[in-house]
Structure 1
Amino acid sequence: MATGYATVNLGFVAAKPEKKNTFMDHLLKVEAWLDRRRTSRILYTLTDRDLADLGLSHADVDGLNEEAERLF
């Protein structure tokens, strides 16, 4: 059975800094904000008992809204 070994020169190549795609970053933030907003609207329609079944309360839903607002 033949065994091959690959060698890589790891010490002499400097890593290139990643280019930040700020447009994509902003787009992802908007998408996350919209998703949290949609989720909180749905959760607000549930009763206290329904939220308790999920292990949540209306205070948790308010916290979700506050977290979404911090994105911007």
Structure 2
Amino acid sequence: MAIGYAAGNLGLSATRRERRKGLLQLLLRVEAWLDARRDARALYAMDDRELADIGLSRTDVEVLNVASWQDRLPAPFSR
């Protein structure tokens, strides 16, 4: 019982919460990056006619991919 009070008084539970919060943020960023990667693959798989149907060209797809891939990396790897 005394150990639980000591850990609470030292703020160890807050440290664990911060670690969990940081891990959750990392996982959410990785998930967003994987979603963006899946979307980019879908756009690359389309031919020029299909891209024109949604108002894009092959150049637009390239620009979107090059401009934003670094922004979707997890925090330790971003620029």
- The TM-score bracket by the shorter chain reads 0.5 to 0.7
Cα pair 1:36 1:64 within 8 Å, conserved: no
**Shift of the alpha carbon at 1:64?**
3.4
- The count of aligned residue pairs is 54
Aligned position for 2:72: 71
**Higher Rg:** 1
Segments of 4+ in structure 1 off by > 6 A? none
Q: Where does the alignment leave 5 or more consecutive residues of structure 2 unmatched?
A: 1-16, 74-79
The separation in 1 between residues aligned to 2:41 and 2:71, in whole angstroms, is 17
- SS where residue 56 of structure 2 aligns? coil
- Where is the helix percentage greater, Structure 1 or Structure 2? 2
Aligned position for 1:4: none
Q: Where does the alignment leave 5 or more consecutive residues of structure 1 unmatched?
A: 1-18
**Shift of the alpha carbon at 1:30?**
0.5
The separation in 1 between residues aligned to 2:64 and 2:33, in whole angstroms, is 10
